[in-house]
Amino acid sequence: MTERKRVLVLDDEPIVGERLKPVLEREGFDVEVFTESEGALRRLGETTFSVIVTDLKMKGPSGMDILRFVKERAPHTAVIVITGYATIETHREAEAHGACHFVAKPFKMQDLARLVARAAK
C-alpha cells in the first residue's frame, strides 16, 4: 500500500480549512489545516508536504512568505495560492515565486480538489 500524500491547508478563514479537509481526505490525502501562518511555518520546517494550499493575505507572514519558504526548502512541493485579493500583480508575483496555481476566491471546492490531485501527481 502506497503512503498517503500529505496536503497542508492554510487560510485564516477557519471555514475554508473545515470544508476542504473532508473533500481532500475523500480524494485520498492526509490533510493538515492551519489558520495561522506562524503555526504553518513551524510545521513546514519539520516536515515536507506534497501540496500546499495557502491564502495570500494573512496576519503575520503572508502566503507569499510561505511560498518562498517552501520553494527554498522543498522545491518539489506544489503550492496552490487561493486568495480573495486576486490582482494581476499578485498573480504574477505568485507565479514568479513558483506557485503552480493561482485560484481566486470564491472558488468551487471540486475545482480546487482537482487542482490538488493534479499537482500531487
Partner 1 sequence: MTPDGERTMARRTESPPASSHAPQGFAEAQRALLARPRISIRLRLAVGLLLCFLLCAAYAWTSCRPGRGPAPASLPILLLALLFFAFVVITLLFDRALMGPIRRFETYTERISRGDFRPIGPSRWFRDEFTDLAVAVNRMLEELEAQQRHMVQAAKMTTVGTLTSGIAHELNNPLNNIAITTEALMEDFKRLSDAEKWKLLQDIYFETERAGEIVKSLLDFTREQRAEWGPVDLREVVESTRRILQNEMALGDVRFEASFPPGLPPIRGSLNPLRQVFLNLFVNALHAMPEGGRLTVEAEAFPGKVCVEVRDTGSGIPPEVLPHVFDPFFTTKEPGKGTGLGLSVSQSIVRKHGGEIQVFSEPGKGTTFHLCLPTALPPPENP
Q: Is 109 in the site for partner 1 (CB under 8 A)?
A: yes
What is the phi-psi region of residue 36: left when phi exceeds 0, alpha when psi lies from -120 to 50, beta otherwise? beta
End-to-end CA distance of the chain: 16
Distance CA 13, CA 49 (A): 21
In the numeric block, which cell numbers belong to residue 74? 522543498
Task: Output the smallest distance, CB 86 to partner 1, in A.
Answer: 8
37-76 footprint of partner 1 as x/- string (CB under 8 A): --------------------xxxx----------------
Q: Which one, 29 or 77, has the nearer CB to partner 1?
A: 29
Contacting residues toward partner 1, per CB under 8 A: 13, 15-16, 19-20, 22-23, 57-60, 84-86, 104-110
